[in-house]
């Protein structure tokens, strides 16, 4: 009887192999990687949004326009007149709301003004009952 030898020169037997065949595992991982690479861009850009374009328009102030300026130190000015942040500004805006209920508030802020000052001003405007708020920018 002739014995069979494998490429290592050992005699073949019916013994199970002690090695793990990793080829199917690698194939499955590559397929999953390709699937994830294809689906991730679809998931992240599924909402179609067209953001608005900013266009500077010529501003024509109306009679019932309130202009509030914030400088970089956080000081408030109502029509070029300094007002304190707390009581004086609230009183002035409440009085303007009584005189002009549909008044438009225009905020002119310094580019270095703090967000907390702008947020504080918006809260005061909301509390006074004025509803039309616009931020002014450079033309």
**pLDDT higher than threshold 80 for residue 9:** no
Are 78 and 109 within 8 A, CB to CB?
A: no
SS3 at position 19 = coil
Rounded CA gap, 35 and 24, in Å?
A: 17
Kindly report the average pLDDT of the chain as a whole number: 78
Looking at CATH, the fold of the domain delimited by 65-136 is given as Nucleotidyltransferase; domain 5 (3.30.420)
In order, the DSSP letters of 84-107 are -TTHHHHHHHHHHHHH-TT-EEEE
| Residue closest to 125 by CA, chosen among 82, 90, 84 | 90
Q: Are 49 and 40 in contact (CB under 8 A)?
A: no
Q: How far is CA 69 from the centre of its chain?
A: 26
**pLDDT tens-digit profile of 42-67?**
655 455 555 556 666 665 666 778 88
Strand locations in the chain (E): 65-70, 76-78, 81-83, 104-109, 132-136
Average the pLDDT over 12-28 and give the result: 79
What does each C-alpha distance from 54 to 30, 51, 65 come to in angstroms?
A: 46, 9, 22
pLDDT band at 79, cuts 50/70/90? confident
pTM over 0.75: no
pLDDT in tens, 87-99: 888 888 888 888 8
């Amino acid at each position: 009887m002739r014995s069979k030898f494998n490429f290592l020169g050992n005699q073949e037997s019916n013994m199970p192999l002690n090695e793990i065949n990793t080829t199917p595992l690698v194939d499955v991982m590559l397929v999953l990687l390709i699937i994830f690479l294809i689906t991730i861009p679809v998931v992240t850009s599924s909402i179609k949004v067209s953001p608005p374009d900013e266009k500077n328009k010529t501003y024509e102030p109306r009679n019932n326009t309130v202009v509030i300026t914030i400088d970089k130190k956080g000081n408030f000015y109502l029509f070029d007149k300094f007002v304190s942040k707390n009581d004086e500004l609230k009183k002035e805006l409440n009085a303007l709301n009584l005189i002009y209920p549909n008044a438009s508030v225009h905020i002119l802020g310094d580019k270095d003004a703090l967000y907390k000052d702008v947020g504080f001003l918006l809260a005061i405007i909301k509390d006074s009952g004025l509803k039309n708020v616009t931020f002014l920018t450079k033309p």
